[in-house]
Amino acid sequence: MQSLTSITELRQALSALTGTVGFVPTMGALHAGHGRLIETSVRETDFTVVSIFVNPSQFNDPADFAKYPRTFDTDAALCASLGASIVFAPTAEEMYPAPQQAFVEVARVTEDLEGKFRPGHFRGVATVVMKLFQIVQPHRAYFGEKDAQQLAVIRRMAADLNVPIEIVGVATVRDPDGVAMSSRNQRLTGAERTIAPLLYQALQLAARRIERGGRDPESIKQEAVAALAHPEIRIEYLEIVDPDSMQPVSKLEAPVRIAIAAWLGSTRLIDNVLAQPRS
């Protein structure tokens, strides 16, 4: 496996490859969820490129950016063990050699959920992903469904801007107690980690209501919120949305995503599940 930090070096390495290229963009602090993305790419393409770049432009809180874990040596070892061909780990100066003046904005799909509570976040995400797409030029790019809104944003961006890359969503990887794997989980205290499964349990409760014939999104949301009545949990949002537009639905007639963001102490967690209404 090659480990590269220069765009020029990466392009030279890619130009020597013959076959399909899969791409897994990450911010490092890799866990089994990232591992599933890498494994899927390795299985489905000839060469896999994993980027490790903590992108400053998608953090609306400088303290959150400063706290984000940097574990490059461990991350690179995991990539190598899973069969990645190249790890691309540029510096911020390599990715942004001059103040950025061109940005990618994706409307509507970014308006609610994370977009409402993290202004500028998706502009930073879409811009850096487009930059990485231009640099790597893969055949396929792999994103986790845990960040369902991010996946929807990237799919819309690729479709609207005619990006010739297949965007592949990979199912959320969970711990045995249901908690979605996330780099942020390591910030939880021991006590908070025992509370974290309640988020997934509330999502499952809402999904069961929908799949058993529930038709009123508002009452189902209220029941899920009530299930999260714990002094250590502060809900930022719990919404039932269309999986493509990520807009709240008023009727339950087609598949929906039930999405949550909540604080446990000083750690913000997100999760979601897909639910299919009974026909």
Q: Which two tokens stand for residue 59?
A: 């953090």
- Choice among 31, 34, 121, 230 that is catalytic: 34
Tokens of 272: 């979601």
178: which 2 tokens?
């249901």
How far apart CA 220 and CA 240 sit, in angstroms, is 9
Q: Can you tell me whether residue 249 is helix, strand or coil?
A: coil
Strands 267-275 and 256-264, bridge-based pairing: antiparallel
Assigned token pair, 81 = 């063990």
Can you say how many angstroms the Cα of residue 252 is from the centroid of all Cα atoms in its chain? 25
Query: Is 31 a known active-site residue?
Result: no
What token pair was written down for 241?
A: 């949305």
Cα separation of 235 and 127, whole Å?
A: 29
Find how far residue 78's CA is from the centre of its chain: 19
DSSP H or E segment with residue 141? strand 140-144
> In angstroms, rounded to a whole number, what is the distance separating the alpha carbons of residues 142 and 173?
14
Closest by CA to 148, choosing from 242, 279, 45, is: 242
193: left (phi > 0), else alpha (psi -120 to 50), else beta?
A: alpha
DSSP tag of 144: E
Closest CA to 241 of 148, 175, 116: 148
Query: Looking at the annotation, which residues are catalytic?
Result: 34
